[in-house]
Amino acid sequence: MTHRTLISGGIVFSMDDAIGDLPVGDVLLEEDRIVDVAARIDAPDAQRIDARNRIVMPGLIDSHRHLWQSTIRQIAADWTMGQYVERMLGGLGPQFDAEDVYAATLLGALEALNGGVTTIFDWAHIVNTPEHADAAVAALAEVGGRAVFGYGVPRSPAPSWYPADLARIRSTYFSSADQRLGLAVASLGPEFSSVEETVVDIELARRLDLTTSLHLGVGLLGAQRAVTRMDEHGLLGPDLIFVHCNTCTDEELVRIRQTGGHVSISPRVEMQMGHGYPATGRLIDAGLQPSLGVDVVSGVGGSLFAEMRGTLEAERGRQNCEALERGEWTAALRLTTRDAVRFATIEGARALGMEDRIGSLTPGKQADVVMLKVDLPNLSLVNDLPAAVTLADSENVDAVFVAGRLVKAAGTLLSHDMRTVQDRARLSRDRLLPGLTLTQRPAVAGAPGR
Ligand SMILES: [Zn+2]
């Protein structure tokens, strides 16, 4: 018998222009799909879920996150780009074994799901050996969210086994295009390897029919004009996701748009580490719509709600400063809270080439649905729907469906005992960060200094 679920009486934030926002509405799921979204749906045969005091919206989509750093969270919170490259990529990364990748990916993917992120591009430039890739895929599969595994080698030059291993991973785990997990290439790109190696990565990805994501326009490295050089090699195209783009020129951003490319930004990490000012407004001027990623979970944590807020604050700060420099007050804010929610949902789906399947509550799409509890202190009384979503956080994520399957209910993840996951993460963390005792004993205010 067909299983149907009626999410009933919620505040429906569909992100579908034809449906709009429904102050009170129902969402009907059938197996893995959304079949109807309307003010009122009669479905007596469906299992009814009471959505009163809930915002019902599409699952969030993170288009760039390094899940492998989830066990060593917070350590990069005060780091610059130089310190990150030296300590994380140069120091800790090579020490990760396959178990460390598994423990971190499991913890980080569960954190994402708990926070309403139903689809994640796991930018896994931690494939130190083929077993590391198997471990990450195993953890992603186990968690139950939707994910794109971004297969990435950690440094240049790439090991000789990499092309064959990417093909092995594809044929072993990703034989079907419509499955819950997808595969992509996480290329170091021209700024972190070379144009020649980027050519190899992209040609390999295209042979295997995979998307390629690459970081560029990163701080001073942007002076290399990576997009321009890729363009000269005929590499640009709609199968590319450009991460950051802070120091790309306006002309380069236009070339990304003209060639159908996609962009993922992480304004909080970018402002912290020195990538350059977040490109949000310049991207929009170039005709591009960004998607969002939290990027360095070891620095800024895993909340995509926080990333929405950071995106708004950065762009608004820029707009206001520029107005003041002209001796003017800003008349109206250019970037809205609705834009930020759009970046974190449907634009993420577009970046991943999945807009026909996810990113909005649209009949026919996959049933990736989040219910936000609005009768908690931080969201009591909803007066503006998109603003309420940007001001929410993981504590508000009451229920999560992925492909119609309930993975979080009544504020609790259903698939895993978090204590067991954390115990496994702690073992890995203790091995990677031995002697980490200071931060476990925070100084008590007023106590004599040690
Ligand atoms: Zn990154």
CA of 88 to the centre of ligand 1 (A): 12
CA of 265 to the centre of ligand 1 (A): 9
CA of 64 to the centre of ligand 1 (A): 6
CA of 54 to the centre of ligand 1 (A): 33
pLDDT at 447: 38
pLDDT at residue 327 tops 80: yes
Do 60-351 and 4-58+360-410 fall under one CATH topology? no
Determine the average pLDDT of the residues in 280-287.
Answer: 98
pLDDT at 435: 78
Q: How confident is the model at residue 441 (pLDDT cuts 50, 70, 90)?
A: very low
CA of 420 to the centre of ligand 1 (A): 28
CA of 370 to the centre of ligand 1 (A): 26
Give the model confidence (pLDDT) of 358-402 as tens digits.
999 999 999 999 999 999 999 999 999 999 999 999 999 999 999
Does domain 60-351 fall under CATH 3.20.20.140? My reply is yes
pLDDT at residue 154 tops 80: yes
pLDDT at 448: 37
Give the model confidence (pLDDT) of 407-428 as tens digits.
999 999 999 999 999 999 999 9
CA of 32 to the centre of ligand 1 (A): 31
CA of 62 to the centre of ligand 1 (A): 12
Domain boundaries, the chain: 4-58+360-410, 60-351
Determine the average pLDDT of the residues in 160-187.
Answer: 94
Domain 4-58+360-410: which CATH number of 3.40.50.300, 1.10.10.10, 3.30.1510.10, 2.30.40.10: 2.30.40.10
CA of 372 to the centre of ligand 1 (A): 28
CA of 244 to the centre of ligand 1 (A): 8
CA of 140 to the centre of ligand 1 (A): 18
Give the model confidence (pLDDT) of 292-314 as tens digits.
999 999 999 999 999 999 999 99
Determine the average pLDDT of the residues in 27-56.
Answer: 98
CA of 435 to the centre of ligand 1 (A): 27
pTM for this entry: 0.96
**Helix (H), strand (E), coil (C) string for the chain:** CCCEEEEEEEEEECCCCCCCEEEEEEEEEECCEEEEEECCCCCCCCEEEECCCEEEEECEEEEEECHHHHHHCCCCCCCCHHHHHHHHHHHHHHHCCHHHHHHHHHHHHHHHHHCCEEEEEEEECCCCCHHHHHHHHHHHHHHCCEEEEEECCCCCCCCCCHHHHHHHHHHHHCCCCCCCEEEEEEECHHHHCCHHHHHHHHHHHHHCCCEEEEEECCHHHHHHCHHHHHHHCCCCCCCEEEEECCCCCHHHHHHHHHCCCEEEECHHHHHHHCCCCCCHHHHHHCCCCCEECCECHHHHCCCHHHHHHHHHHHHHHHHHHHHHHCCCCCCCCCCCHHHHHHHCCHHHHHHCCCCCCCCCCCCCCECCEEEEECCCHHHCCCCCHHHHHHCCCHHHEEEEEECCEEEEECCEECCCCHHHHHHHHHHHHHHHCCCCCHHHCCCCCCCCCC
